[in-house]
């Protein structure tokens, strides 16, 4: 055998074993590692596996905000056991998306589940946002499990004193059922994906989301909720209340920019190609695909 042929066989064998290793890896379930960030003595943020989960340890039980992707309910429960002996009594879902509600079905059936009333309707038939793959129908696959037991329209308060939690709805944005969860004693809130991080928001027009109203809704939440310092975002780090004000303005500016460009006769393609984020917004992540989707969403809404 000449050296070239030997080398070729070795390379081929190496490639085959790499492929088989990758295949084996794909066959094995990827471990679901929940990362914990302690925010207050009795408030934690659980990361990975979908949206950020809030865990509040109250006097008599635990309140969980959002339950991540399918299969992440048990890892959340396991992690809570490391934090406290108290039982989970309540789940609050910020909105309908599969990476925030799917773990619900893995919690005990006794757990109370609360959402904004439009989110309950959305959860009855899970629909993907524009440009996303169809979600796993976890509630149809697990009949009688994980669906909301209670809803609210504009505001609801559960618990009292140090356990008080206020739930608010300030209007449409990411979806038409984005709940804001506030712990007054801790001066903390959870915003879900209407404030997922410093980025262009996902406007889920298939679930009532809106690029025309999201800036105003964010502003109304910022102005309407008092005495909060910090906010758990849907998918990013904890932000300040001032960051929320800035994010509201960012969304209002985006709408104004698209409106002005439309008035100047630009097509949606031209608007997306020419739009630039203002220098005053530092550390924002602007994705090209999201920019195109959001320009289209806003233009379609304005034409209605």
Residues near Zn ion, by CB under 5 A: 97, 193
In angstroms, give the least distance from the CB of 174 to Zn ion.
Answer: 6
Token digits of residue 92: 């609050």
**How are beta strands 239-240 and 230-233 bridged, if at all?**
antiparallel
User: Which residue lies nearer to Zn ion by CB, 106 or 193?
Assistant: 193
Token digits of residue 78: 């396991």
DSSP E strands, 97-149: 112-116
User: Which residue lies nearer to Zn ion by CB, 73 or 98?
Assistant: 98
| Ramachandran quadrant class, 98 (left: phi over 0; alpha: psi -120 to 50; beta: rest) | alpha
User: Which residue lies nearer to Zn ion by CB, 79 or 174?
Assistant: 174
DSSP letter (8 states) at residue 283: S
Q: Are 116 and 94 in contact (CB under 8 A)?
A: no
User: Which residue lies nearer to Zn ion by CB, 57 or 64?
Assistant: 64
Token digits of residue 151: 């809803």
In angstroms, give the least distance from the CB of 197 to Zn ion.
Answer: 12
In angstroms, give the least distance from the CB of 220 to Zn ion.
Answer: 19
User: Which residue lies nearer to Zn ion by CB, 89 or 136?
Assistant: 136
User: Which residue lies nearer to Zn ion by CB, 193 or 246?
Assistant: 193
Q: What's the full length of the chain, in residues?
A: 304
Q: Are 152 and 116 in contact (CB under 8 A)?
A: yes
In angstroms, give the least distance from the CB of 85 to Zn ion.
Answer: 32
User: Which residue lies nearer to Zn ion by CB, 193 or 257?
Assistant: 193
Q: How far is C-alpha 42 from the geometric centre of its chain's CA atoms?
A: 22
Separation between Cα atoms, residue 283 and residue 163, nearest integer Å: 35
In angstroms, give the least distance from the CB of 234 to Zn ion.
Answer: 6
Q: CA distances (Å), 211 to each of 96, 174, 199, 200, in order?
A: 18, 8, 13, 10
In angstroms, give the least distance from the CB of 206 to Zn ion.
Answer: 11
In angstroms, give the least distance from the CB of 278 to Zn ion.
Answer: 25
Q: Are 167 and 180 in contact (CB under 8 A)?
A: yes
Separation between Cα atoms, residue 196 and residue 218, nearest integer Å: 12
Strand, coil or helix: 199: strand
In angstroms, give the least distance from the CB of 92 to Zn ion.
Answer: 15
Token digits of residue 49: 């596996």
User: Which residue lies nearer to Zn ion by CB, 186 or 221?
Assistant: 221
């Amino acid at each position: 055998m000449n050296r070239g042929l030997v080398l070729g066989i070795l390379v081929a064998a190496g490639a085959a074993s790499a492929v088989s290793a990758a295949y084996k890896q794909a066959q094995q379930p990827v471990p679901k590692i929940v990362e914990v960030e302690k925010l207050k003595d009795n408030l934690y943020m659980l990361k990975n596996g979908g949206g950020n989960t809030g865990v509040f340890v109250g006097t008599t039980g635990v309140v969980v905000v959002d339950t991540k992707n399918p299969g992440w309910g048990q890892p959340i429960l396991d992690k809570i056991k490391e934090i406290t002996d108290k039982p989970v009594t309540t789940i609050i879902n910020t909105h309908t998306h599969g990476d925030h509600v799917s773990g619900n079905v893995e919690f005990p059936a006794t757990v109370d589940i609360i959402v904004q009333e439009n989110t309950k309707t959305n959860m009855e038939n899970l629909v993907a946002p524009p440009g996303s793959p169809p979600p796993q129908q976890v509630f149809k696959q697990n009949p009688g499990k994980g669906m909301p037991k209670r809803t609210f329209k504009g505001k609801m308060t559960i618990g009292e004193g140090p356990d008080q939690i206020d739930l608010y709805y300030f209007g449409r944005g990411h979806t038409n059922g984005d709940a804001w969860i506030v712990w007054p004693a801790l001066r903390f809130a959870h915003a879900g994906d209407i404030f997922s991080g410093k980025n262009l928001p996902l406007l889920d027009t298939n679930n009532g989301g809106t690029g025309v109203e999201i800036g105003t809704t964010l502003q109304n939440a910022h102005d309407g909720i008092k005495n909060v310092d910090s906010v758990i975002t849907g998918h990013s780090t904890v932000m300040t209340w001032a960051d929320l004000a800035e994010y509201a303005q960012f969304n209002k500016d985006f709408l104004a920019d698209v409106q002005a460009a439309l008035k100047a006769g630009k097509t949606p393609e031209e608007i997306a190609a020419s739009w630039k984020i203002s220098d005053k917004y530092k550390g924002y992540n602007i994705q090209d695909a999201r920019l195109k989707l959001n320009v289209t969403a806003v233009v379609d809404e304005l034409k209605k």
